[in-house]
Amino acid sequence: ILFDFLDEDESLATVREKEFKRATLVELIDYMLQAPAHVTTDMYGAVVEMVTCNLFRPLPPRLNPEGLAYDPEEDEPILEAAWPHLQIVYELFLHFIDMPGFSTKAAMAYIDVPFVRQMIDLFDTEDPRERDYLKTTLHRVYGKFLPLRPTVRSEAMAVFIAVAHEHHVHNGVAELLEILDSIVNGFAIPIKPVLCVD
């Protein structure tokens, strides 16, 4: 169930439904934190579908399309109205991929290149809290899903190229640079030719 968190005239029934959904997501997290929690095959598709439906969304238009007037030292960040809900979804996904019985091989059918691309697209959100969770989530995906590593690196590079050469304003450059910094620090020396960019 998807909700409009910007609706100021919501009914009491909608408030109850939102609370029910929040309680259900928290209950799922509690289940995953149980010591012997078992990961079933059906869970992979269900969790990734839930993450896809709730997190991957069109970002609202920029309040400041030029990006020049926003000063992080002076101005308040623009916060996502649905953040309390989104945070629980991020937490659930992080706990899911950290479960002891989690199989990267089984999850590869669902956590794939389009999933990573959509995740990197979300880095352009104006909410710094979401970008921080995205950084943690993408780093975890990078660490667990070896076949997706080239996609993470190339998609991040595409963002940097758009910013540098097309003068595109992107909110998540700092977070993507932090991810690439930790990736580069993890490279063994000598660096394999496949990791070098010409």
Q: Is residue 112 a contact partner of residue 151, using CB atoms and an 8 Å limit?
A: no
CB burial string 56-65: b at 16+ within 10 A, e below: ebeeeeeeee
Per mean pLDDT, which range of 39-43, 90-94, 151-155 is the poorest? 39-43
Percent pLDDT > 70 in the chain is 78
Instruction: Kindly report the average pLDDT of the chain as a whole number.
Output: 84
Specify whether the CB–CB gap between 102 and 96 falls below 8 A.
Answer: yes
| pLDDT tens digits, one per residue of 102-161 | 999 999 999 999 999 999 999 999 899 999 999 999 999 999 999 999 999 999 999 999
Residue with tokens 């990791």: 195
pTM exceeds 0.85: no
Q: Which two tokens stand for residue 126?
A: 């104006």
Which residues, 6 or more positions from 18, have their beta carbon under 8 angstroms from its beta carbon?
3, 85
